[in-house]
Structure 1
Amino acid sequence: MAGSTVEYRRGEYRKSAARREQILEAAFAVFSELGYTAGSVSEIARRVGMTQTGVLHHFKGGKTALLQAVLDRRDEQAQAIIAGKRGADFLRALPEITTTQLDKRGMIQAYRMLSTEALNPDHPAHAHFQARQRLVLDGLEKAFREAIEDGDAPSDLDPHAASLSCLAMTEGLEVLWLTGFDVDMVAESRQHIQQFVTAPL
């Protein structure tokens, strides 16, 4: 009897996890197509064949919680690639992140749309994007400092200026790519970072 109860709970947990995943995918699609402001929980619910109440059972913070989960998903994948890396190895991994996202145009488009909407200080994702930009810049600056220490970058390199340049380049390339320009984001990203370091990327 006890074994049956445990198996039942495991089955229910798997169903709940699968349902949550479906909702996240639908939220991602809705935010990609409509943006956060125009996207609605009712539309997300419609796409997964649920009621709004059912969706909110899995995401009790409502639309804001769904947005945060979508944003966190993208950042977690990127963090996994650079985890534990320093200096030139960290910088070498950055184009790899872009590589993993080339078949996820919708995700990149959603992120660009949401980041633009979030320029409004009242937007629920404003703080997230502010913190993310700071995290990226700090990570880049740290990696460039480490590259200098390891002899993989010129001693007179300005880590802060290099970090700003790399972030601006990456975000600009994404916009051009989404607009339809023939852009090799991986190659261009690697080439841009390479100009700041002597270690081959």
Structure 2
Amino acid sequence: MRANFSSDEQSRSFTEQGRRAQIVAAAIEAIVELGYPRASFGQIAKRAGLSSTGMISYHFKNKAELMRQVVADVYRTAEELVGARVVAADTARGQLRAFIEASADFYRTHHPQLRALTEILINERGGDPVLPHRREIEGLAELFRAGQRAGEFRDFDPHVMAVTLRHALDGVALRLGTEADTDADLYARELATTFDLATRADQEKP
């Protein structure tokens, strides 16, 4: 059964979505400028152009809920950009290289989002904000398993390799975020080659 919505209801829905996106963007800005602890509703409201914090509280009951939305939005954006390039590759080795190179591209073009994400993951202790990070590692582990089943990857522990790759990419993200002259393409190529050599089946040639 299809739900029917009036034009007024649809308009309110779009308006609320836009307001939530505005608040999330302001939260990212506040975290980058002030750090996580000082990114209060008051500071976020100021950057969002809101007259009071009440509008934020209407959409997010507390800071933790808002931070979870920031994390979800950053990961969703990354998944859309990186995922499109990964699925375009027709081999596990190609998908691995595409994932690494596309991730580096995302880091280069989304510095504020990455800095905010790092602050949140360091400061939030409830567990929920890091769930997308765990899901990404699980997805990488499954990519490695698929490559092993296809004979493209050697025998290794997929989870350990996924965690290792995730930490290596975190290092690239940190360097790109702190040193403006970092050559992202060079880092992406070298990291992709490193993990290709580390994972490919013995009979494969680079």
Q: TM-score, normalised by structure 1?
A: 0.78
Q: Which amino acid aligns with 1:163?
A: A
8 Å contact from structure 2 (residues 140, 162) kept in 1: yes
Partner residue, 1:194: 196
Measured in 1, the distance between the counterparts of 2:45 and 2:69 equals 16
Is 2:55 the counterpart of 1:54?
A: yes
Partner residue, 2:129: 128
Partner residue, 1:78: 78
Structure 1 stretches lacking a partner, 5+ long: none
Q: CA deviation at 1:192?
A: 2.8
Partner residue, 1:182: 182
Q: CA deviation at 1:19?
A: 1.8
8 Å contact from structure 1 (residues 87, 144) kept in 2: yes
Cα deviation code 1:157-185 (max 9, x no counterpart): 34344223212211112222222162424
Measured in 2, the distance between the counterparts of 1:168 and 1:7 equals 47
Q: Secondary structure at the match of 2:37?
A: helix
Alignment counterpart, residue 117 of structure 1, candidates 113, 116, 123: 123
Question: Considering only aligned residues, what root-mean-square deviation do their CA atoms show, in Å?
Answer: 2.9
Q: Which amino acid aligns with 1:29?
A: E
Measured in 1, the distance between the counterparts of 2:121 and 2:35 equals 10
Identical residues among aligned pairs (%): 21
Partner residue, 2:99: 94
> Higher mean Cα deviation, 84-93 or 164-173?
84-93
8 Å contact from structure 2 (residues 147, 153) kept in 1: yes
Measured in 2, the distance between the counterparts of 1:54 and 1:127 equals 24
Q: TM-score, normalised by structure 2?
A: 0.76
Q: Which amino acid aligns with 2:93?
A: A
Q: 1:200 to 1:31 in 2, by over 3 A?
A: farther
Aligned residues: 189
Q: 1:87 to 1:10 in 2, by over 3 A?
A: same
Q: Which amino acid aligns with 1:135?
A: R
Cα deviation code 1:95-135 (max 9, x no counterpart): 223323421111111122222324xxxx34x4432x34432
Partner residue, 1:140: 140
Q: CA deviation at 1:186?
A: 2.7
Q: Secondary structure at the match of 2:182?
A: coil
Q: Which amino acid aligns with 1:46?
A: K
Partner residue, 2:172: 173
Measured in 2, the distance between the counterparts of 1:176 and 1:97 equals 13
Q: CA deviation at 1:62?
A: 2.1
Measured in 2, the distance between the counterparts of 1:160 and 1:48 equals 40
Structure 2 stretches lacking a partner, 5+ long: none
